């Protein structure tokens, strides 16, 4: 049973690692990278090294991807794709922000 | 049989407001949550004139006419595939020379690992042998790693830090001002989660010699909690207890004390002297000699580093 679970995790790991480089959308590729780290931390637990599992979950899945998000937002790769949704969705709230800008 | 309320009293009740919200007559969040759309960025096309783009399109990548680029692209694709395949073959060939996993005569199972497992508890006093190994047998390596973290933050500061507050505002470095500051959902979640995250990080640091964990993992968790706090309640709120001044004091003090303890430990260990840090009873919270203070110093160092990365990336200063 454990061996089957391990094989499933390892296959997911390889699929994630390949999918990160083949995804066109840069936001999706960061999310896949996060899931890669989570699978890796489960594998660390199954290899009986919980020390590494904690570090992998905190640094790999948490902090590294957060720094990716912040950097991509700074250089404007994430916001440009969301702007279309904002333009469609914020029809009601646009008059409020408009009056703020004028005043 | 229930008593029928009059209309005015009914309009004040929660049930009436809930039914209005269900029918879609009123949205309770309009005017409460700050909704602010992002300022549009500058159009990057404006940097060059239109003729330049047409000229570039005409000359640079004209695949139909430019046979040279066409041929080069084909050679490039074939060459990169061949190089990748060659690298894969070389790496797999090298892996075949590694000793099998768990084999008795492999390099991994020499007398060093045996000594760690057999004598680790008596010599370091740590129930968690991994922590004992990292903090005492390999204290020099761990000290180098902590120094690397210190130098990494220093170099990021050199690259990204803008010293003065007014200049920072002038350059629009803080991209928080394009976002809604009063995000109620995030703030409530942060209010509930942050104490538990900090407590869990401190628990992992202080319990590093008894259970899985240690300075690095606990420090990373505390740093992640601080990032959550600062993204929920803007930077001025976190600057009340963690600003640049406190950052410098905490970080330098932690590294210096760590260095002092490490040097003292090397000196007594090399000369066979008695150390002032008692090993204590294995399993007690105050045991394990230098492991507990070293875990605390590494934890503060890592937490500072992770939060400093976030703050420097975000607004160019702490």
Domain boundaries, chain B: 47-95, 128-315
**B164-173 contact pairs (CB < 8 A, 24+):** B165/B317, B168/B315, B168/B316, B168/B317, B171/B316, B173/B315, B173/B316, B173/B317
Flag whether pLDDT at B1 surpasses 70.
Answer: no
Residue A93 has a pLDDT of 41
The structure tokens 């009740």 sit at: B13
Instruction: List pLDDT tens digits, range A59-83.
Output: 888 889 988 988 888 887 776 445 5
Asked if pLDDT for residue B51 goes beyond 80, the answer is no
Position A91 confidence tier, pLDDT thresholds 50, 70, 90 = very low
Residue recorded with tokens 């259970």: B211
Give me the percent of chain A exceeding a pLDDT of 70. Answer: 76
With CA atoms as reference, report the closest residue to A65 among A16, A7, A103, A101: A16
Q: Are B213 and B221 in contact (CB under 8 A)?
A: no
What confidence score (pLDDT) does residue B45 get? 54
Distance between CA atoms of B254 and B261, rounded to whole angstroms? Answer: 11
Q: If we measure between CA atoms, which residue out of B105, B310, B291 comes closest to residue B227? A: B310
Residue among A58, A85, A92 with most chain B CBs within 10 A, to mutate: A58
**CB of B116 within 8 A of CB of B133?**
yes
Residues in contact with A77: Cβ distance below 8 Å, sequence separation at least 6, in sequence order: A26
Reported as half-sphere exposure (CB side, CA atoms, 13 A), residue A19 has a value of 16
**pTM for this predicted structure:** 0.69
Interface of B with A (CB under 8 A): 30, 35-38, 40-41, 128, 130-131, 175, 204, 212-214, 216-217, 220-221, 223-224, 227, 306, 309-310, 313-314
User: For residues B300 and A89, which has the higher predicted lDDT (pLDDT)?
Assistant: B300
Amino acid B222: pLDDT: 93
Which residues in A lie closer than 8 A to residue B227 (C-beta atoms)? 63, 66
Residue A102's pLDDT is 38
Residue with tokens 């996993």: B101
**More confident: B266 or B27:** B266
Closest by CA position to B251, among listed B309, B197, B200, B174:
B309
How does pLDDT run across B103-136, given as a tens digit for each residue? 777 766 677 878 888 888 888 888 888 888 888 8
pLDDT of A97 above 50: no
Q: What is the ipTM of this complex?
A: 0.72
Report the C-alpha dihedral over residues B11, B17, B23, B28, rounded to 10 degrees: 130
Where residue B313 falls among pLDDT bands split at 50, 70, 90? Answer: confident
pLDDT band (50, 70, 90) for residue A92: very low
B182 pLDDT band (50/70/90 cuts)? confident
> Is A54 in contact with B204 (Cβ distance < 8 A)?
yes
Distance from CA of A50 to the nearest CA of B (A): 6
| Cβ count within 10 A of residue B105 | 8
- Tell the burial category of B282 from Cβ atoms under 10 Å away from its Cβ (0-12, 13-18, 19+): middle
Q: Quick check: B214 and A73 CB within 8 A?
A: no
Element (H, E) at A8: helix A2-22
């Amino acid at each position: 049973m454990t061996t089957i679970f391990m094989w499933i995790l390892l296959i997911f790991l390889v699929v994630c690692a390949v999918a990160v480089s083949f995804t066109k959308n840069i936001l999706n590729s960061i999310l896949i990278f996060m899931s890669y780290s989570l699978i890796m931390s489960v594998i660390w637990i199954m290899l009986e090294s919980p020390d590494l599992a904690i570090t992998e979950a905190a640094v790999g899945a948490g902090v590294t991807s957060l720094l990716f998000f912040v950097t991509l937002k700074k250089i404007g790769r994430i916001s440009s794709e969301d702007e279309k949704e904002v333009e469609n969705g914020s029809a009601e709230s646009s008059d409020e922000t408009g009056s703020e800008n004028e005043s | 049989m229930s008593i029928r309320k009059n209309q005015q009293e009914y309009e004040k009740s929660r049930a009436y407001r809930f039914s209005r919200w269900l029918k879609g007559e009123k949205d309770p969040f309009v005017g409460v949550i700050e909704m602010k759309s992002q300022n549009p960025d500058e159009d990057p096309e404006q940097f060059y004139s239109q003729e330049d783009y047409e000229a570039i399109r005409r000359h640079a990548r004209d695949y139909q006419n430019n046979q040279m680029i066409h041929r080069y692209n084909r050679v490039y694709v074939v060459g990169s595939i061949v190089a990748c395949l060659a690298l894969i073959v070389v790496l797999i060939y090298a892996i075949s020379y590694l000793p099998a996993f768990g084999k008795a005569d492999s390099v991994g199972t020499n007398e060093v690992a045996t000594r760690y497992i057999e004598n680790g508890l008596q010599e370091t006093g740590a129930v968690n042998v991994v922590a004992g190994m990292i903090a005492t047998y390999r204290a020099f390596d761990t000290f180098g790693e902590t120094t690397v973290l210190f130098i990494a933050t220093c170099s990021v500061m050199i690259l990204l830090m803008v010293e003065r507050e007014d200049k920072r505002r002038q350059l629009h470095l803080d991209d928080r001002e394009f976002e809604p500051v009063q995000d109620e959902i995030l703030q409530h979640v942060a209010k509930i989660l942050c104490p538990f995250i900090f407590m869990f990080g401190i628990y992992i640091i202080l319990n590093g010699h008894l259970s899985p964990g240690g300075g690095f993992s606990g420090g990373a968790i505390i740093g992640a909690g601080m990032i959550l706090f600062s993204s929920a309640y803007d930077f001025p709120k976190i600057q009340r207890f963690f600003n640049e001044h406190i950052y410098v004091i905490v970080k330098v003090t932690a590294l210096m004390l760590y260095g002092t303890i490490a040097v003292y430990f090397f000196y007594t260990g090399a000369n066979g002297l008695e150390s002032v840090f008692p090993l204590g009873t294995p399993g007690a919270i105050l045991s394990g000699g230098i492991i507990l203070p070293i875990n605390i110093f590494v934890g503060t160092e890592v937490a500072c580093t992770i939060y400093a990365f976030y703050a420097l990336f975000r607004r160019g200063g702490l």
